[in-house]
A and B are shown apart, each in its own frame.
Chain A
Amino acid sequence: SAVISQKPSRDICQRGTSLTIQCQVDSQVTMMFWYRQQPGQSLTLIATANQGSEATYESGFVIDKFPISRPNLTFSTLTVSNMSPEDSSIYLCSVVPWEATSYNEQFFGPGTRLTVL
């Protein structure tokens, strides 16, 4: 398994500002993902955080709005830019451990609860 921490755990921000969320894993992982969970909704994949290269975004999500970095195999950041109240959500990172074979476990961080006023 993997122990995942996220910072901050929650924040309240003003519209038009940006927030960077950190995801730290206690061991090297092959794959890291960022998900969004809007109020009362299920999880939606935002992007795959690729180590050493640009993130791969899902339909409906763009780099200008959600820039992602992954400088090494244990850390990634997601920035929510130019925020609006519609960005109020829980943001979660997930990881696939390094030793994963086909369809191994995928673990999630505790999430960052973002409220935009």
Chain B
Amino acid sequence: SQELEQSPQSLIVQEGKNLTINCTSSKTLYGLYWYKQKYGEGLIFLMMLQKGGEEKSHEKITAKLDEKKQQSSLHITASQPSHAGIYLCGADGGGTSYGKLTFGQGTILTVHP
């Protein structure tokens, strides 16, 4: 079975600082999702990266997929308190497991004003 490891587990930054969260897979990545979760709430879809070394940006968040390293990174530029939350990466099983996501343990981000 596929396993995802996120690092760091938690991150505390000052507002305005840049930060990076990594997600490393034990198997080939076919589709990699990034979500943000506020405590006890549902998941907010951020980005989905497909196989092939893709990079996507939305506002101040950029995500990259390095298929050789079986790794994805999420980078936030000039962080704001609104960025605080739990960031989760999820890998699509691919093939007959298409749509079935395996998640990392999450990265808790705190942004101090």
Q: In the complex the two chains form, is A106's CB within 8 Å of B50's CB?
A: no
Q: In the complex the two chains form, is A42's CB within 8 Å of B104's CB?
A: yes
Q: In the complex the two chains form, is A103's CB within 8 Å of B30's CB?
A: yes
Task: Knowing A43-B88, A45-B101 are in contact, say whether A102-B42 is a contact too (CB < 8 A).
Answer: no
Question: Which of A1, A31, A42, A94 has most B Cβ within 10 Å?
Answer: A42
Q: In the complex the two chains form, is B35's CB within 8 Å of A108's CB?
A: yes
* Chain A neighbourhood of B33, CB < 8 A: 106
Query: Which A-chain residue is minimally distant from B30 (CB atoms)?
Result: A103
Say how far A97's CB is from chain B's closest CB, in angstroms: 11
Q: In the complex the two chains form, is B43's CB within 8 Å of A103's CB?
A: no
* Chain B neighbourhood of A41, CB < 8 A: 105
Would you give the 0/1 interface string for A29-68, flagging 1 where the beta carbon is closer than 8 Å to chain B?
A: 0010101000001111100100000000010000000000
Question: Can you offer 25 A-B residue contacts whose CB atoms are under 8 A?
Answer: A33-B99, A33-B100, A33-B101, A42-B104, A42-B105, A43-B88, A43-B90, A44-B103, A45-B100, A48-B100, A58-B100, A96-B99, A102-B50, A102-B98, A103-B50, A103-B92, A103-B98, A104-B48, A105-B45, A106-B45, A106-B90, A109-B42, A110-B41, A110-B42, A111-B42
**Contacts beyond the supplied A43-B103, A107-B45, A108-B45: 5 A-B pairs with Cβ under 8 Å:** A96-B99, A103-B30, A105-B48, A106-B99, A110-B42
